[in-house]
Amino acid sequence: MVVSDLIWLQKTLLLKPRPRGFHLVTGELLGQLAELEQIAVGMAHFFIQHTSASLSLNENADPDVRRDLETHLNRLIPEHASHYTHTLEGSDDMPAHIKASLLGSHLSLPVGQGRLLLGTWQGIYLGEHRNQGGARSVVATLTGSPSRHSATVAR
């Protein structure tokens, strides 16, 4: 199939400050991305602009999964490890950088009929790896073919 008409949209979304841990943010991201409805078939790319937080895709129903991930990563990557040399920004900073590198800073997700094509039990997580990370910025890039009912298309 050759598509001559493509939508390209990029905007920065702001996630509210959260405490350390894993947080389901699918709804918060989509709430700021009404333009997703304009895409019939395409991709959504989400990139977090921080080195001490991450994005991942995982279980969206049972909050125990988020707690277990945080507990496991804290055991795997402890604070106050004697081999850390980057310590000026607090004991949670270097572990936050390691966690963010392991989990990643971006997600690319398929879009169909104006919605993310997530599995039944999938949701987007913010991994907040600092004790007080603050608000987090996520750049969302959408591309795809426009839906037929799309009146105004961002190009």
Number of domains in the chain: 1
- Whichever domain contains 84, its CATH number is 2.60.120.460
Whole-angstrom distance, CA of residue 144 vs CA of residue 9: 10
Q: Is residue 104 part of a domain?
A: yes
The closest alpha carbon to 139, from 27, 72, 58, 55, belongs to 55
Whole-angstrom distance, CA of residue 40 vs CA of residue 122: 21
Rounded average pLDDT over 128-142? 97
pLDDT band at 149 (very low <50, low <70, confident <90, very high): low
pLDDT at residue 153 is higher than 50: no
Q: Is residue 154 part of a domain?
A: no
Q: Is residue 151 part of a domain?
A: no
Q: Which domain holds residue 49?
A: 7-146
pLDDT of residue 4: 64
Q: Is residue 2 part of a domain?
A: no
Q: Is residue 1 part of a domain?
A: no
pLDDT band at 148 (very low <50, low <70, confident <90, very high): confident
Strand locations in the chain (E): 7-15, 19-24, 39-48, 53-59, 106-112, 115-116, 122-132, 136-146
